[in-house]
């Protein structure tokens, strides 16, 4: 999980300021939103760093054709695809995973989603993009090729299908754990590692909120009211118990 304190959003918090009427609070919201967006990029980096990656896709495919690649699973990033002859402008997926096996070579074309909230308006376009890329890539490589959309933090395939309003079929979706199993990396370790930043994010937001004098003033009012109400109800309880 990315840290909010490290976020440097390019956009101002104007919309949030109109929403809450406080520029300092709006800036906290803007940094948080920017961090949520960057979480996807951060997740891609974590997965890449833990996997056996391909630096030159052209050479890798040539080596596969010639039988010069050891059995195993290899990960290719979007950046590497874009630098290869297999690119398809603006249609490259987040990842391509190649499982090399003497009896069956498999290629997984994967679009990765960090969360489990789905933008159904874009899902049809994303499926079309994945299918176009598979149609472009499959005839050129010695692999059986299939596309998937992976929702990293949703453990239930059926919920992924439902979330995308059945635009993707059951055999076109993948959980984060399934993707990690293909790559031979530890899903639970990634999840736990990302949680380390959650407590820092909570602490940062609370600290920054309390630096805002209007927040401190509002909190004091609410706290005093809470104490008065508790005293009132406790007094009534005591009086009833005395009778």
CB 46 within 8 A of CB 15: no
The pLDDT, as a whole number, for residue 63 is: 97
- Picking from 135, 131, 112, the residue whose alpha carbon sits closest to that of residue 183 is 112
Model pTM score: 0.81
pLDDT-based confidence at 29, cuts 50/70/90? very high
- pLDDT, tens digit, 9 for 90 and up, residues 128-165: 999 999 999 999 999 999 999 999 999 999 999 998 88
d(CA 168, CA 172): 6
Of the candidates 101, 61, 99, the one whose C-alpha atom is nearest the C-alpha of residue 81 is: 61
User: Residue 12: which pLDDT band, with cuts at 50, 70 and 90?
Assistant: low
Q: Give yes or no for a contact between 12 and 30, defined as CB atoms under 8 angstroms apart.
A: yes
| pLDDT of 85 | 97
Better pLDDT: 222 or 83: 83
Radius of gyration of the chain (CA): 25
Q: Which pLDDT value is given to residue 223? A: 84
b/e 17-49 (16+ beta carbons within 10 angstroms → b):
beeeebebbbbbbbbbbbbeebbbebbbebbbe
The pLDDT of residue 72 is above 70:
yes
Report whether pLDDT(239) > 60: no
Share of the chain above pLDDT 90, in %: 63
d(CA 150, CA 122): 15
Does position 64 have pLDDT exceeding 90, yes or no? yes
What is the rounded average pLDDT of the residues 61-86? 97
Q: Residue 38 pLDDT more than 90?
A: no
Please, which pLDDT band fits residue 119 given cuts at 50, 70 and 90? low
pLDDT (tens digit per residue) in 175-189? 999 999 999 999 999
> How many Å apart are CA 65 and CA 59, to the nearest integer?
10
Count of Cβ atoms closer than 10 Å to residue 208 Cβ? 18
């Amino acid at each position: 999980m990315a840290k909010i304190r490290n976020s440097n959003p390019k956009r101002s918090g104007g919309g949030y300021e109109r929403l809450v009427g406080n520029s300092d609070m709006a800036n906290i919201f803007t940094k948080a939103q920017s961090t949520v967006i960057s979480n996807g990029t951060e997740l891609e980096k974590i997965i890449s760093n833990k996997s056996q990656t391909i630096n030159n896709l052209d050479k890798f495919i040539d080596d596969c054709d010639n039988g010069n690649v050891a059995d195993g699973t290899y990960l290719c990033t979007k950046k590497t695809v874009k630098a290869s002859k297999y690119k398809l402008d603006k249609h490259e997926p987040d990842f391509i995973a190649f499982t090399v096996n003497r009896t069956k070579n498999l290629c997984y074309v994967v679009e990765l989603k960090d969360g489990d909230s789905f933008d159904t308006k874009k899902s049809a376009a994303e499926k079309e993009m994945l299918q176009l890329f598979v149609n472009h890539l499959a005839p050129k490589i010695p692999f059986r090729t299939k596309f998937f959309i992976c929702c990293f933090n949703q453990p239930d395939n059926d919920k992924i299908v439902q979330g995308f309003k059945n635009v993707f079929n059951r055999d076109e979706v993948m959980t984060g754990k399934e993707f990690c199993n293909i790559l031979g990396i530890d899903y639970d370790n990634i999840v736990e590692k990302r949680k380390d930043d959650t407590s820092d994010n909570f602490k940062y937001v609370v600290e920054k909120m309390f630096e805002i004098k209007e927040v401190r003033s509002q909190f004091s009012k609410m706290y005093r009211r809470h104490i008065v109400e508790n005293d009132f109800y406790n007094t009534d309880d005591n009086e009833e118990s005395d009778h």
